[in-house]
Amino acid sequence: MPDKTPIKTNNMTTDKTIEATVVGFLDLTEVPYEVVEIDPDFADTAAFCEKYDFPLENSANTIIVASKKKPKTFTASVVRASHRIDVNHVVKPMMNVGKVSFARAEETSELTGMMIGGVTALALPDQVKIYVDDGLMNLDYIILGGGSRSTKIKISPEIFLSVPNAEVVKGLVTE
């Protein structure tokens, strides 16, 4: 498996590097997938679904959660876009920390090398634990970020069985 640690260039990861990392990882898994090229202005989930006619229920967001105390620890949660992540009752106890919050856009970018709207669990640094909404596993396909605001990935949720540090979690979201 390739090293998924972001490669930094002038303190920023290039979109093409992340996209190539994602595709390289997917090719190794042999899980069929489709790269959906999109207009970056429509990378946010609701706008993407409306413009490209994908159901919100099949779209998944990768959300970075951070501990409040230093040294900060981070996790990623992959949840259906139509649901809310239960940060305080589910994620916080799994992180075993006192207080948590959603990572700021700057923290997310620094940690992942990706911008909001393109963050994907398929190219996170190895030290980031990934929690996956169990409701995603029942879908025929899901739409994930492709690593940049220019691509999305259409794939079976079975991909999470191949993602290192991924754990399917019952009750990760609220309705």
Q: Helix (H, G, I), strand (E, B), or coil: what is residue 3? A: coil
Q: Give percent of the chain above pLDDT 90.
A: 83
Scan for tokens 């980031």, then name that residue.
128
Whether residue 71 has a cis bond before it, omega within 30° of 0: yes
Whether 170 maps to a domain, the answer reads no
pLDDT of 7 strictly over 70: no
Whether 1 maps to a domain, the answer reads no
Q: What is the model's pLDDT at position 14? A: 67
At 72, which CATH number?
3.90.960.10
Whether 10 maps to a domain, the answer reads no
Whether 72 maps to a domain, the answer reads yes
What does the pLDDT look like over 86-109, one tens digit per residue?
A: 999 999 999 999 999 999 999 999
Cβ contact 148:39 at 8 Å: no
Cβ contact 123:4 at 8 Å: yes
Whether 41 maps to a domain, the answer reads yes
What does the pLDDT look like over 140-165, one tens digit per residue?
A: 999 999 999 999 999 999 999 999 99
pLDDT of 2 strictly over 50: no
Domain housing 109 = 15-161
Q: Helix (H, G, I), strand (E, B), or coil: what is residue 101? A: strand
148: left (phi over 0), alpha (psi -120 to 50) or beta: beta
Amino acid identity, residue 59?
Answer: S
Q: How many domains does the chain have?
A: 1
Whether 42 maps to a domain, the answer reads yes
> pTM for this one?
0.88
CA end-to-end span of the chain, whole Å?
A: 35
Whether 168 maps to a domain, the answer reads no
Scan for tokens 């290192």, then name that residue.
164
Q: Which two tokens stand for residue 72?
A: 């900060």
- Distance of alpha carbon 64 from alpha carbon 79, whole angstroms: 11
Determine phi and psi for 156, rounding to 5 degrees. -70, 145
Nearest Cα residue to 60 out of 145, 165, 146, 172: 145
- Distance of alpha carbon 160 from alpha carbon 166, whole angstroms: 6
- Distance of alpha carbon 125 from alpha carbon 109, whole angstroms: 12
pLDDT-based confidence at residue 5 (cuts at 50, 70, 90): very low
Q: Helix (H, G, I), strand (E, B), or coil: what is residue 167? A: strand
Whether 4 maps to a domain, the answer reads no
